Amino acid sequence: MPSSVPPFSELLANTRESAVHFEMRDDYGTNPRLEAWQRGERINWDDRESWWHPFHQTIADAVARGVAVRRARIVSEPVSEYIRWEHYATHANVMAGEDVRWLPRSQATGFLVPANDFWLFDGKLIRVHHFAGDGRHVSDELSTDPGDLKLCVSAFEEVWQRAIPHSEYTI
């Protein structure tokens, strides 16, 4: 069944000030880049053409327009193999212009977070991600509900303030 949720690139293209991504899972299933990393293959960061994907260009274009793109991840420690790979691959996100921070789950007590990962565009539109137990992406939905917006903005900002910048977070 086709999704009625616009593609991420369209949502970001309509964003004027900020886009934030909140991630809380320790595993998002498998993908070819993860599998290559598990086989010992490493990215040649000097060969941008080999790792630069349309997603990175979408982020870079938004940043060039003045959109602040931030990503916060809550992770369990010791980290899962997936998070170990994601930490390695985050260099590409940073090169595209994202500001990324990591918060150990042990430091995430004392405030509420939504049950799902999400993107928040200009503080006005949430793209909620739904995943299966094995990490497989199932669906997305959009929300402009004021209560949802308040919770997502509050949770993201609380995590952002506590989280460790990517360049300082070691695993």
Amino acid at site 12: L
Distance CA 130, CA 127 (A): 10
Q: Which residues contact 122 (CB under 8 A, 6 or more apart)?
A: 15, 16, 17, 18, 19
What's residue 64's pLDDT? 98
Question: From the CA atom positions of the chain, what is the Rg in Å?
Answer: 16
Do the beta carbons of residue 112 and residue 158 sit within 8 Å? no
Distance CA 166, CA 17 (A): 22
Rounded to the nearest 10 degrees, what angle do helices 81-96 and 54-64 cross at?
Answer: 50
Task: Report the predicted TM-score, pTM, of the whole model to 2 decimal places.
Answer: 0.95
Q: Which residues contact 45 (CB under 8 A, 6 or more apart)?
A: 51, 91, 95
What's residue 80's pLDDT? 97
Q: Which residues share a beta bridge with 73?
A: 23, 102
Spell 89-120 as b/e; 16+ CB within 10 A means b.
ebebbeebbbbbbbbbeeebeeeebbebbbbb
Q: What kind of fold does domain 8-168 have according to CATH?
A: Endonuclease; Chain A (3.30.870)
What's residue 2's pLDDT? 55
Per-residue pLDDT of the chain (171 residues; tens, 9 = 90+): 456 899 999 999 999 999 999 999 999 999 999 999 999 999 999 999 999 999 999 999 999 999 999 999 999 999 999 999 999 999 999 999 999 999 999 999 999 999 999 999 999 999 999 999 999 999 999 999 999 999 999 999 999 999 999 999 999
What's residue 1's pLDDT? 45
Q: Reduced to 3 states, what is the DSSP secondary structure of residue 95?
A: helix
Amino acid at site 59: I
- Size of the chain in residues: 171
The domain ranges of the chain are 8-168
For 136, the token pair is: 């497989």
